[in-house]
Chain A
């Protein structure tokens, strides 16, 4: 078997996050010699889905090493009430570090289909979006509640939660969005493109605060201050994604941990194409270079092996600046199936495995009676995601990081469990993992034959700009070969073999 040091690699890819893995997939039929490594012992990097044991090791690494000050992840902590009672074995869990829903209209879906990688991935429906409503009078005993956002036209008409006049305004807005980019609709919003979407909704469509909250929830805007331009684009994406692969859902989620699963399947495709895979192996040093782009990059791997490559592609997992956007996350395992969140509400729809709960600004009250400044979002994952055993569920909370965001997430969790109580008992938490995640590099950085991919986007729905970075890295890797028409980028035939028949004796 050829040795790693004797080979001149066309490209060494470091990190198996979603982007690097998609790059490996895109190069899997190129005939390029590829060495794909990851310093972690598991696939997925910042997009990984972790067992409880892996999560514990990850948390310890974050907390202890000098990496803590430079990593995009920080402040990781694990809390297990009553020392893990009620939890199943470590491997029964698969907790996603950066869970994202994927709209059915996303180019990621069409690339997974055209590259044939999708066959090894199971996709589940993202069902209802809910708005969290705090208890109307804090002194009363009435609990907070959840209000489901109507997901279809029929739903809008049949819901009793919206008054008739408001329904007409809402329908008017939805029709407008479907055609928002052509005249005369475009002339309406373009002069106000940079204004907050909520102001545009209030002033142009007369949407009341409640309907504005519905619409803003669908944007999954982290600061709640999304502009009219971006807001209309995300609502348009949501509406046009509705029903694409079946009734009742606009987004899907890969079973067993989301994008982590896509990364693994993409790496397998890279291996089938001849790529060499090593985990638990990172880059120790990169030799000083003269700047000549014909010069090979000389790398010392952390296991001591020297390798030479024409190109080095790395992911970015480093904090770039202290003022970079940052989010607080709280992942919790709950000892209840939370069935009311995963009901089929549209006839013929697949059973949803993911539900989204939006807490509008001001809806979460802390112990000192201060209220939340930014929206909080919770993704509820049922055991159908394979991320927890049946009878349990996983809740992923996200909000913009502030000095109080951790407390806000805790209050949001308590309030949600209170809203989901069945009888007197609120569902119990078995496990909590909290951490902060900051946005690193936001675009591809190329320096001679070194390419750095951006850090993962913090958005809660998969952001198609991620794919542009991958495509850009592919172009650099392919060099002059990519000057040809790129019509077959990520388009591959099945490797499927001919069927044979083996008859019983």
Chain B
């Protein structure tokens, strides 16, 4: 049934990055305020999560897509990237190897999305900064700047900065009207809705003249 919420502008936002960077933890903490320190397995059963968020006084419906494990062997499909308004690129600040893959992830995003897509680089596991930081804040900032992305570090464990990347990427999206209204986003005019059940009238319908 249609509710008022269905009328909200929907934004498609992707979380990508290497396995173990904490994409799902970030998503779970932000959407459900849950954190499982034991969970280290690849994500199963989550297609996307929905979150409503108001930015600058206007509500939006975010659809937040996880990689469903397809980052492991870098097999995200072109269809996954279609229509994305924003992408959070996620690495682990306590893993140098994780950070070093980010150039390739930026390249993949830039190959599969439109040029004005909102990019946001997130360094996760900020709670480990004192004990095992392997990537400096400056390095993160420099990489983000090189790709025209915004940047922050966050922790799903302590919830520090947990909302920041989501709120700011939405802010980037909605302050770019071309991106919101851009061609090839959302449903194209002329799209056929097959989900509402076919009940058309067939070839010989109409007047019986």
Looking at B19, B20, B56, B78, the one whose CB has the most chain A CB atoms below 10 A away is: B78
- Chain A residue numbers with a CB within 8 Å of B142 are none
CB–CB B46/A243 < 8 A: no
- Chain A residue numbers with a CB within 8 Å of B68 are 268, 271-272
A245 to B80, CA, bound (A): 26
- Chain B contact residues: over half helix, strand or loop, or mixed? loop
CB–CB B200/A495 < 8 A: no
**A152 on the interface (CB 8 Å rule)?**
yes
**B7 on the interface (CB 8 Å rule)?**
no
Within 8 A of B (CB), among A33-56: 42-43
A256 to B14, CA, bound (A): 19
A154 to B208, CA, bound (A): 9
- A178-B203, A256-B82 given as contacts; is B77 within 8 A of A264 (CB)? yes
Looking at B20, B30, B184, B188, the one whose CB has the most chain A CB atoms below 10 A away is: B188
Within 8 A of A (CB), among B118-133: none
- The answer, among B44, B53, B190, B193, for a CB contact under 8 Å with A273, is B44
A499 to B112, CA, bound (A): 28
**A124 on the interface (CB 8 Å rule)?**
yes
> Which partner residue on chain B sits nearest A120 by CB separation?
B79
- Chain B residue numbers with a CB within 8 Å of A247 are 200
CB–CB A497/B49 < 8 A: yes
Name the segment of A5-13, A276-284, A463-471 touching the other chain.
A276-284
One digit per residue, 1 when the CB lies within 8 angstroms of any chain B CB and 0 when it does not, for chain A 481-505 equals 0000000000000011111111110
- The answer, among A175, A269, A279, A497, for a CB contact under 8 Å with B75, is A279
CB–CB A276/B72 < 8 A: yes
CB–CB B77/A267 < 8 A: yes
- The answer, among B46, B52, B79, B184, for a CB contact under 8 Å with A499, is B52
**B163 on the interface (CB 8 Å rule)?**
yes
- Chain A residue numbers with a CB within 8 Å of B78 are 42-43, 256, 264
Minimal beta-carbon separation of B203 from chain A (angstroms): 4
CB–CB A153/B194 < 8 A: no
- Chain B residue numbers with a CB within 8 Å of A271 are 68-70, 75
- The answer, among A104, A157, A256, A268, for a CB contact under 8 Å with B198, is A104
> Which partner residue on chain B sits nearest A270 by CB separation?
B68
Within 8 A of A (CB), among B163-209: 163, 166-167, 183-184, 187-195, 198-207, 209
A350 to B188, CA, bound (A): 11
A366 to B207, CA, bound (A): 45
- The answer, among B45, B190, B194, B202, for a CB contact under 8 Å with A274, is B45
- A112-B194, A174-B203, A353-B190 given as contacts; is B79 within 8 A of A265 (CB)? yes
- The answer, among B45, B77, B205, for a CB contact under 8 Å with A268, is B77
A247 to B198, CA, bound (A): 11
Chain A contact residue count (CB 8 A cutoff): 68
> Which partner residue on chain B sits nearest A386 by CB separation?
B184
- Please classify how large the interface on chain B is, using the bins under 10, 10 to 19, 20 to 34, 35 or more: 35 or more
- Chain A residue numbers with a CB within 8 Å of B72 are 1, 276-277
> Which partner residue on chain A sits nearest B57 by CB separation?
A504
- The answer, among B31, B75, B195, for a CB contact under 8 Å with A118, is B195
**B137 on the interface (CB 8 Å rule)?**
no
> Which partner residue on chain B sits nearest A342 by CB separation?
B190
A112 to B42, CA, bound (A): 26
- Chain B residue numbers with a CB within 8 Å of A43 are 77-78
**B101 on the interface (CB 8 Å rule)?**
no
CB–CB B79/A501 < 8 A: no
- A268-B79, A274-B44, A501-B52 given as contacts; is B192 within 8 A of A123 (CB)? yes
CB–CB B44/A123 < 8 A: no
- Chain B residue numbers with a CB within 8 Å of A276 are 69, 72-73
**A125 on the interface (CB 8 Å rule)?**
yes
- A245-B193, A502-B163 given as contacts; is B45 within 8 A of A273 (CB)? yes
- The answer, among B53, B80, B167, B206, for a CB contact under 8 Å with A154, is B206
- Chain A residue numbers with a CB within 8 Å of B79 are 120-121, 256, 261, 264-265, 268
**A240 on the interface (CB 8 Å rule)?**
yes
CB–CB A350/B46 < 8 A: no
A495 to B122, CA, bound (A): 26
- The answer, among A109, A174, A279, A501, for a CB contact under 8 Å with B194, is A109
- Chain B residue numbers with a CB within 8 Å of A154 are 206-207
- A153-B204, A261-B79 given as contacts; is B195 within 8 A of A504 (CB)? no
CB–CB B200/A243 < 8 A: yes
CB–CB B200/A245 < 8 A: yes
Minimal beta-carbon separation of A253 from chain B (angstroms): 9
A478 to B77, CA, bound (A): 27
CB–CB A350/B192 < 8 A: yes
- Chain A residue numbers with a CB within 8 Å of B46 are 272, 495, 497
One digit per residue, 1 when the CB lies within 8 angstroms of any chain B CB and 0 when it does not, for chain A 380-401 equals 0000101000100000000000
**Can you name 13 A-B residue pairings with CB atoms under 8 Å?**
A1-B72, A42-B78, A113-B194, A113-B195, A118-B195, A152-B205, A242-B202, A244-B200, A271-B68, A276-B73, A277-B70, A352-B190, A501-B52
A residues with CB within 8 A of B: 1, 42-43, 91, 104-105, 109, 112-113, 118-125, 152-154, 157, 174-175, 178, 239-240, 242-247, 249, 252, 255-256, 261, 264-265, 267-269, 271-274, 276-279, 281, 350-353, 384, 386, 390, 495-504
Q: Which 6 residue pairs across A and B have the least CB separation, nearest first?
A: A243-B200, A244-B198, A264-B77, A351-B190, A264-B79, A271-B68
Given contacts A42-B78, A265-B79, A495-B46, 4 further A-B contacts (CB under 8 A): A242-B203, A269-B47, A277-B75, A499-B52
